[in-house]
Homo-oligomer: A and B are copies of this chain.
Amino acid sequence: MANAPYIVGVDIGGTKVACVLAEAGGRILARQWQPTRSVEGWQAVVQQLFEMTEQVLEGVSSSQVRGIGISCGGPLDSQKGIVYSPPNLPGWDAVPIKQLFEERFGLPTRLENDANATALAEHRFGAGRGTRNMVFMTWGTGIGGGLILDGRLYRGTNDLAGEIGHTTVLLDGPLCGCGKRGCLEALASGPSIARRARELASESPESLVWQRVSPEEVTAQHVVEAAEAGDTFARFVLAEAATYMGIGIGNVAQILNPERVVLGTIAVKAGDLVLEPLRRALAVHAWGRVREVLQVVPAELGDRAQDLAAICLWIED
């Protein structure tokens, strides 16, 4: 079935699950999605996935399907196909998802963490096309990463390569959700941007941000919108986060010497408001010879990323 025309892609998220049937070229033929029934436990979610998979496979014979690709938050074991306890999937603990799918559908199944799978998708179909060495970084609620090195996904020893969000950028910096201090994620993620705006609220009463939302309820999205409207406080907060991103990416660039760094959500939404200060910081923290081959660009796939991510597990570059 290695050359079969169809691929099933399954995306397991904390708030939504989706299932697609696609051609190897990326065209989506059928798509199902539902809110994740996570409160009902992992068995209910797996049942949900089985039903959606059956629906997208309706009328398709097994021999026409190359395989099933599953994209899910880590920690997980991609080789054994086991999902451990992703923070966004409470109650999951060593779920043998690959085995469960293979038994149910008789189709070879691959599991990959979502940052890696999205890296493959941006590399194959998006902002990383044509590159040999590409770093993809999610930049939203968390900061994760996927590494394409010498044209292939690099997973590391136990599927933890690319945890760029949890490199130390500021010694003794703010506490991170992971338990460390000064992680890039604690300085530049969406929640960190919101926290920083909140911390500085009393010193910026004039900001547009506080005309729209209270400090208790502010999100990075509010900050980006105010910055787009020209608000100097919001621009300052974004630039600070972007500067830390530039420092973190500088370290990655010195270690991996990539030709492209592709950045997710916040870079896509805020554009030059973050990319400009980010590149300025990068110029301080990465060598000229490293930067001369490096482009830092926003991701291109947007909402299509999740669908394409899972099916990329069955597409050879």
Contacts and interface: CB of A to CB of B under 8 A. Distances in A.
Interface of A: 75, 132-133, 145, 147, 149-150, 152, 154-164, 166-171, 178, 180, 247, 250-252, 254-259, 284-285, 287, 289-290, 292-294
B284 A161 contact: no
Nearest to A84: B289
Contact of A154 (B150, B247, B285, B294): B150
B75 A289 contact: yes
Total copies of this chain within the assembly: 2
Given A180-B285, A254-B166, A254-B167, A133 B150 contact: no
A212 B259 CA distance: 49
Contacts of A157: 132-133, 257-259, 293-294
A251 B168 contact: yes
Given A145-B255, A163-B257, 9 more contacts: A133-B157, A149-B154, A154-B256, A155-B257, A157-B294, A160-B254, A163-B255, A171-B171, A178-B287
6 contacts: A150-B152, A160-B254, A164-B254, A167-B251, A178-B287, A251-B255
